[in-house]
């Protein structure tokens, strides 16, 4: 296993390009199962999650070739059973359920386990696919969905759960509905940019989807879906993560290939906390730098367009070095505070209770051996390490490699002192 050694104190400068979105790539790659012709997907980040998804597609009979950020898929003879050993490694693989069911009439996948950020149920996915006519069997940790003889039939479905909309649940039902008979209306749909990008991809291969990006998505079923070339949107979470690196440990850095429209909530918190955030006219490049008089901030995560849960751990690192009190509450994943125990080992003053972290910032951090626990918590530890005195050894680097493309190379390009070493 690799670990990352971060030596604090370096001042970041210069610029980097932000990669394509992991969370847009995964459902779009899954959606190629629906396409009867070949597809070319560009800007797919080289992260282990997309590598797993490509392996799953290969096992399902979709011929996949990858060269740097471009993935070419060619459907050959699709089978309906996903490989257990791969599916269990990545929760997001649950989004092959909808396309597999719609394309083959059956889908057998292993139930995703929970993970450190909390219970990850799929009851809403099942509710939505059952509403389209699927029957569901669960046995031995697997779930098997079967479409009716005549195929799936459109329905009106409210997909809201106790924590609000579901991103991958909305994706699964939207993908399945593209080949269902008649009209499907998804109410309380997720509005994330990644859902919009998936809908754009599906429409470009012949689907008839309207309303993506709003709480009500309408899908008119069609007989067949073709192939296309698609460019994945920028990764707003990677972009937001490096924006925080810029206000924590630089004299000013520029991030290219971002999308301002998807970073509004991140921009607002950074500006309110007294930092410098300047987007260019086109909104695809942003200059960030520390403010002269930074202050504490309050964050409550919500489904998009609210503040993203995927950014709260990274903001915890900023809060730790910001004089004053900051309060961060995660209403989407209330248990998503694994990074706090590790940051306390570095000297952070944080109290976590009942889905909320109260952080007394401004105390100096000291480097320490810490353990990555999940994707965004790991990124938060890297950010804290940039500002700590001495070396921070972050073990279990595979968590970061799941969703950040070549993070060490990007940090080195900005002048950070980081080294990836084999443990």
Q: Which stretch binds ligand EPZ (CB under 6 A): 164-172, 215-223, 337-345, 347-355?
A: 164-172
Q: Is 25 in the site for ligand EPZ (CB under 6 A)?
A: no
Q: How far apart are CA 191 and CA 302, in angstroms?
A: 11
> CB-wise, 270 or 311, nearer to ligand EPZ?
311
Binding segment toward ligand EPZ, per CB under 6 A, in 33-41, 53-61, 116-124, 244-252: 116-124
Stretch that binds ligand EPZ, among 29-37, 165-173, 201-209, 411-419 (CB under 6 A): 165-173
**Site residues (CB under 6 A) for ligand EPZ, limited to 191-220:** 194
Q: Take residue 47 and report the two structure tokens written for it.
A: 């992260």
Q: Work out which of 10, 12, 18, 26 binds ligand EPZ, going by CB under 6 A.
A: 26
CA distance linking residue 206 with residue 391, whole number of Å: 53
47 forms part of the interface with ligand EPZ (CB under 6 A):
no
Q: b vs e for 89-104, b when ≥16 Cβ sit within 10 Å of the residue's Cβ? A: bbbbbbbbbbbbbbbb
H/E element holding 58? Answer: helix 48-59
> Cβ(106)–Cβ(117) under 8 Å?
no
Q: Tell which one of 32, 80, 93, 166 touches ligand EPZ (CB under 6 A).
A: 166
Give the C-alpha distances (Å, rounded to integers) separating 298 from 170, 329, 358: 29, 8, 9
Residue 309 sits in the site that holds ligand EPZ (CB under 6 A): yes
Instruction: Give the containing element (helix H, strand E) for 251.
Output: strand 250-256
Q: Does 270 bind ligand EPZ (CB under 6 A)?
A: no
* Minimum separation from the CB atom of position 355 to ligand EPZ (A): 11
Q: In whole angstroms, how close is the CB of 376 to ligand EPZ at the nearest point?
A: 5
Give the DSSP H/E element, type plus range, for residue 168.
helix 167-177
Q: Which residue has the tokens 């009106």?
A: 156
Tell whether residue 415 is a contact of ligand EPZ (CB under 6 A).
no
* Residue 115 appears among annotated catalytic residues: yes
Q: According to CB under 6 A, which one of 3, 103, 108, 125 is a site residue for ligand EPZ?
A: 125
Q: Is residue 399 close enough to count as binding ligand EPZ by CB under 6 A?
A: no
DSSP string for 367-392: --EEE--SHHHHHHHHHHHHTSBSEE
Residue numbers at the binding site for ligand EPZ (CB under 6 A): 23, 26, 92, 119-125, 161-163, 166-169, 190, 194, 309-310, 332-333, 375-376, 403
């Amino acid at each position: 296993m690799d670990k990352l050694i971060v030596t604090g104190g370096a001042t970041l400068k210069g610029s980097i390009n932000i990669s394509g979105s992991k969370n847009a790539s995964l459902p779009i790659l899954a959606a190629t199962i629906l396409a009867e012709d070949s597809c070319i997907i560009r800007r797919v980040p080289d992260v282990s999650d997309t590598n797993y998804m490509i392996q799953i597609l290969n096992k399902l009979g979709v011929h996949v070739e990858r060269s740097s950020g471009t993935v070419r898929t060619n459907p050959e003879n699709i089978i309906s059973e996903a490989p257990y050993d791969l599916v269990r490694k990545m929760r997001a693989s649950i989004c092959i359920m909808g396309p597999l069911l719609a394309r083959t009439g059956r889908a057998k996948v292993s139930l995703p386990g929970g993970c450190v950020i909390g219970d990850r149920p799929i009851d809403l996915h099942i509710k939505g696919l059952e509403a389209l006519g699927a029957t569901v069997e669960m046995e031995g940790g697997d779930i098997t969905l079967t479409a009716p003889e005549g195929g799936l039939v459109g329905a009106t479905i409210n997909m809201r759960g106790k924590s609000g909309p579901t991103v991958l649940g909305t994706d699964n039902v939207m993908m399945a509905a593209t080949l269902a008979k008649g009209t499907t209306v998804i109410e309380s749909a997720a509005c994330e940019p990644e859902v919009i990008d998936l809908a754009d991809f599906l429409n470009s291969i012949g689907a008839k989807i309207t309303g993506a990006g709003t709480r009500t998505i309408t899908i008119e079923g069609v007989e067949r879906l073709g192939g296309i070339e698609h460019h994945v949107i920028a990764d707003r979470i990677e972009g937001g993560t490096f924006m925080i690196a810029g206000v924590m440990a630089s004299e000013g850095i520029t991030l290219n290939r971002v999308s301002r429209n998807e970073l509004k909530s991140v921009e607002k918190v950074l500006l309110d906390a007294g930092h410098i955030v300047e987007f260019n006219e086109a909104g695809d490049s942003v200059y960030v730098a520390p403010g002269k008089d930074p202050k504490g901030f309050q964050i409550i995560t919500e489904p998009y367009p609210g503040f993203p849960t995927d950014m709260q751990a990274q903001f915890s690192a900023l809060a730790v070095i910001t004089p004053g009190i900051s309060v961060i509450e995660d209403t989407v994943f209330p248990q998503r505070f694994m990074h706090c125990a590790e940051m306390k080992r570095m000297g952070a003053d944080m109290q976590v209770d009942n889905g909320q972290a109260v952080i007394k910032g401004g105390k100096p951090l000291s480097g320490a051996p810490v353990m990555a626990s999940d994707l965004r918590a790991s990124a938060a530890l890297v950010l804290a390490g940039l500002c700590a005195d001495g070396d921070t050894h972050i073990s279990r680097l595979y968590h970061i490699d799941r969703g950040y493309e070549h993070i060490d190379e990007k940090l080195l390009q900005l002048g950070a002192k980081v080294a990836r070493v084999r443990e």
